[in-house]
Structure 1
């Protein structure tokens, strides 16, 4: 029997999974999940989706926090998810500032290309969920379908306009998860 290709979802972190701050999220104490976001990830997992995070973390490059703090934030997220029966398969992040001119800082697609390579999957049609234009642009550059959540900077992003064609709008990650697992998104064949 042929194996079904894995179904993936790529999420931004700050403003999608956890509360965002213009002063950066610098410690586990500042990492606070948005209501329903962790349950949304668990629901996606239970529906057969692998969830991967792709996040710009220029606070490292700016010297605002160390790698140990970022690891502690992600450990907090992993434990909270595990308590709900959920998981994130991997967190990819860019530690650079815009001045570094790297290939991995969104809106450039390098981080998503790394995800494709690491997991051996084609990202065409894979949902990418973010709260900023750069999240969506990075995804569209590798063939992902763009989804904007209104949480974090999402409402400002929506008000500003200029979203990639075909962008779907969701109130929050919980609404996206429902769309994906039991709504209209569940009606489409899995991305290969």
Structure 2
């Protein structure tokens, strides 16, 4: 996993899709051509020739090599149902929040003599709309994966470890060695 939090945010928005993403190479290529308004733009985006794009659109080519197939799928998913994606993001950021499920190493920094050693934990925690908004806003503004992980760690620290700031005041949480991150709406 290269970007577990960023990819988790993307997957969470994909849960809201109301129609399936195009599956065939021809359907994916047609969708990209329609979205980018031309075969030349799609060719530049995917790193192939304009003629190759035209062949996929016509159905003359059907089975892209694995790297092209993955790029096509990623680009189609990124653009699929933008209004549905935006509604889901807005709902999570204003009323519903997110469910963050992770397996990672958590360590704590607190007052001297109260620090726990870091250990791997499985945690599933609801995060308030405030944390959902912070994560989505940071993602939209081009935050790095480390910055997204820091925001997620702050959210888990507040909601899980400090029980919505009702206990363990001043407890700082370190979120490292991430095994998995799943984010749901």
Higher Rg: 2
Fold match by TM threshold 0.5: no
Higher helix share: 2
TM-score (norm 1): 0.23
